[in-house]
Structure 1
Amino acid sequence: MDKVTLKARGISVSLDTTVGHIADMVVEDGGRQLRPLHRAPWVGAPRDTLPADLPEGTVRLSGDFLCAPFSRSDVEEAPLHGWPANSAWDVTESSAVDGGWRAVFRLRRKVMGASVDKILTLRDGHAFLYQEHVFSGGHGAISVAHHPMTAMTDGGRLAFSPKRFAASPTDPLEPDPTRGRFLLAYPGRTSDLGHFPAAGGGTLDLTDYRMDDRREDFVTLVEADHGGPGWTALARRAEDDLVLVLKNPAELPVTMLWFSNGGRDYAPWSGRHLGVLGIEDGRTAVGHAASIGDNWLTREGVATAFALGEGSSVSFRHVIGALPLSGTEPPQEVTTADGRMRLSGGGPAREVPFDSDFLRIGQAAAG
């Protein structure tokens, strides 16, 4: 694996440059090492032991990566989740900055004619990875999403910034019972995240990740208009930590949750992909063609792609962090201001260092 590691005081991040996936992220706090991101159990296995048609992004499935497009590449030929998730990136800059480290990576391939840069920044004493992606030039439009994955050995509890509603697609990820299983209703919809329609009747709580629920499920949460950062907080029980994922809703208006807990029986998943949750913030529907056309989200007034153009650029930012768990529940409110993040509700209130200008809340995204 070609790996580049960035470090600042109390945090390190390694990027697998062969596919642009974050191979590892370590936050040091009070003598503990917190590792918020997941790596698939087959990563590093001999290639000939895996299915021959598996995309490289699945072969090396790790941490977080850029999807462009999200899901099917059915406009411009590319593997699942596009070339940014499946092909090589080059380091173009990497150096110390005031109070931290900054590195820039460029995708060797182009996406819809656009060059793509990945900018990673670490700050001394901050428990967060600050990411920005920039598309320069190109034509047409592109859907995008981050794909951070975490994993739990004993489940966890979730909390979110205000959402308008949650909805599942028309079809489940694994409709064939000989290959896998699911628990949510497809399609399903609710404005109460604690009560999502279940496949067998009744409801399931999207805020409670239970290890005995063997399933492969997918649901999209649409951000409400609340004026703050979009955020997801996951209190992992056994790991005794809090995983935080933040975005600017004007840039990335949806959060897609992928519950992957032993719900696929075929290789390479083979029932061993356990306790995994994808927290996938995006500007997308499912598939490139669907995202740039009329779809169920655009009919709800939700943008699902960025417009590209020669001589112009578009960018979006994202944050992933980890903190020791305070209490047993995730916070119910997350606010950022004056170089701090404040977490309250669900346990004792606390503040931690945070670049409160990074997400540029209040600025509209183009495209």
Structure 2
Amino acid sequence: MGNLNNWTIDWAWGEATVQALGGMLAPVTFELDNGQRIQPMQIAPWGETPDPQWPGVLRQLRGEWPCVPFGMSHAPQHTDPTWPKADDANPHDHGYGANHEWQLVQQTSDALTVAINYPAGDPVARLEREIRPDPDSPALTVTLTIHVRQPIRLPVALHPTFAVPHSGLEVIACPVESVHTYPQPTEAGVSRLLPDHSASSITALPATTGKLDITHLPLPFATEELLQLRGCKPPFVLRYPGWKAQVELDWDTSQLPDALLWISNGGRAFAPWSGRHYALGVEPLNSFFDLARVLTPPSSHPLADRAGLLIHPGQPAMIRYTLRASGL
């Protein structure tokens, strides 16, 4: 079922809604074998009263969506001045598809497919996304297909954002090769992590206050943080003790080798965030943070090889990933 703005598919273990704007997947309700019903996706608190002046990606921010090309369209100001910077000719942060309305292609009892055509002249021609529930468990498999008009290397990411309830979220995460902090403070004057540092674990990140452990959210202070987990080996595991539930995100690391973590912990005081946004983004990606479109790190940087997916016309990239819930 659906309307002009969203479509919903239900199955024995839950229901999932896809929003036309951004193709965003949320809410997603899972019915667990312990009798719990959970909705683990973040839904921004301003979604009912969006300002048309805000970028499309922010107006009804929620859940999970694809970012093609991933990242910012404007170069940051405070990174190392020796790193080459340039604004992207494409003005849309996280890509055209994250900021515009998708169309329904097909809906059956088994799957829901939506798509968006990119403007003529854009190297990307079309994105398609199929949401297919598992008939035997509280799980969804999503398939993203990227069609291009010319050979191109694109920074690509998925953008699942998860709820951080008052009862808490435990970030079990995934085994990693290394952890890297953002090249500049994620939010000037607010962020605690030291820029452009490396660590071996998310339990002891270099911060202005010493070592920061981000495995239990929400944090006891307002902040916004970004860090990239190199060589993340999924599933990425999140545990909701208050809900007696666990959520796992799994994906193909041959395409998207890392995970970008976005800790949104009430750290943005300006609209629309207004100090009230709490979420955890777990973003499988092939990119240098969200900066590959506008910034070139030195070859010596540990993430310098994260340049994006090489895609050819007539050979669309197909990325499949799974969201699964279980009781504790």
- Same fold, TM-score > 0.5, yes or no: yes
Q: Which residue of 1 aligns with 2:162?
A: 150
Q: Write the distance in 1 (CA, Å) between the matches of 2:123 and 2:89.
A: 7
Paired amino acid for 1:67: C
Which moves more between the two structures, 279-288 or 245-254? 279-288
Is 1:182 aligned to residue 195 of structure 2?
no
Alignment TM-score, normalising by the size of structure 2: 0.86
How far did 1:296 drift? 6.1
Q: Which moved more, 1:107-116 or 1:311-320?
A: 107-116
Structure-to-structure mapping, 1:299-338, within 5 angstroms? 300=303, 302-324=305-327, 326=328
1:68 aligns to what? 68
2:93 paired residue number:
80
Output the CA distance in 2 between the equivalents of 1:198 and 1:259.
14
Q: Please state how far the C-alpha of 1:289 moved relative to its aligned partner.
A: 2.3
The one-letter amino acid of 1:77's match is N
Amino acid paired to 1:64: E
Q: Any conservation in 2 of the 1:119–1:133 contact (CA below 8 Å)?
A: yes
Deviation, structure 1 residue 18: 2.5
Aligned counterparts of 2:298 and 2:310: Cα–Cα separation in 1: 16
Per the TM alignment, residue 320 of structure 1 is displaced from its structure 2 partner at its CA by 1.6
Query: Given the superposition, is the C-alpha separation of residues 210 and 121 from structure 1 closer, same or farther in structure 2, using an over 3 Å criterion?
Result: same
Shift in alpha-carbon separation, 1:123–1:297, aligned structure 2, 3 A: farther
Distance 2:302 2:166 in 1: 39
Residue of structure 1 in register with 2:130 after alignment = 119
Distance 1:289 1:108 in 2: 21
1:46, CA displacement in angstroms?
A: 5.0
Letter in 1 for 2:139: F
- The unaligned stretches of length 5 or more in structure 2 are 74-86
Per-residue CA deviation, residues 295-326 of structure 1 (Å, 9 max, x unaligned), is 669855744311232222112122122222x2
2:144 counterpart (113, 128, 133): 133
Q: Residue 215 and residue 185 in structure 1: after superposition, are their counterparts in 2 closer, same or farther (change >3 A)?
A: same
**1:213 partner letter:** F
| Equivalence for 1:208 | 216
**Alignment CA distance shift 1:301-1:80 (3 Å):** closer
Q: 1:25 aligned to 25, 28, 32, which one?
A: 28
Q: CA deviation at 1:168?
A: 0.8
Match of 1:103 among 87, 112, 129: 112
Match of 2:230 in 1: 222
* Alignment partner, residue 330 of structure 1: none
SS in 1 for 2:274: coil
What's the counterpart of residue 192 of structure 1?
201
Q: TM-score, normalised by structure 1?
A: 0.77
Kindly indicate whether the alpha-carbon contact (under 8 Å) linking 1:75 and 1:288 is maintained by their aligned counterparts in 2: no
What's the counterpart of residue 271 of structure 2?
267
Aligned amino acid, residue 61 of structure 2: L
Segments of structure 1 that go 5 or more residues without pairing to the other structure are 327-367
Structure 2 Cα separation of the partners of residues 300 and 67 of structure 1: 19
Structure 1 pair 118–78 and aligned structure 2 pair: CA distance change class (3 A): farther
Q: Which amino acid aligns with 2:117?
A: R
Aligned to 1:316, what secondary structure does the other structure show? strand
Q: For the structure 1 residues 232 and 314, does the alpha-carbon distance in structure 2 shift closer, same or farther, using more than 3 Å as the test? A: same
Q: CA deviation at 1:15?
A: 0.3
CA deviations over 1:176-209 (Å, ceiling 9, x no partner)? x3xxx11211122111332111123x20113232
Identity %: 22
Show the counterpart of 2:244. Answer: 240
Judged with a 3 Å threshold, the aligned counterparts in structure 2 of structure 1 residues 120 and 313 are, in CA distance, closer, same or farther, namely: same
Instruction: Classify the secondary structure of the residue corresponding to 1:57.
Output: helix
SS in 1 for 2:235: strand
Contact 2:50 2:60 in 1 (8 A): no
Q: Give the 3 Å change call, closer, same or farther, for CA 138–199 of structure 1 in structure 2.
A: farther
Aligned mate of 1:250, from 254, 266, 291: 254
The CA deviation at 1:237 is 3.1
Residue 138 of structure 1 and its aligned partner are, at CA, apart by 2.1
CA contact (8 A) 2:178 2:201 kept: yes
2:51 corresponding residue in structure 1:
47
Runs (4 or more) in structure 1 with deviation over 4 Å come to 293-302
CA distance in 1, matches of 2:299, 2:218: 29
Aligned to 2:14: 11
Query: Counterparts of 1:82 and 1:265 in 2: how far apart (Å)?
Result: 25
CA distance in 2, matches of 1:149, 1:301: 25
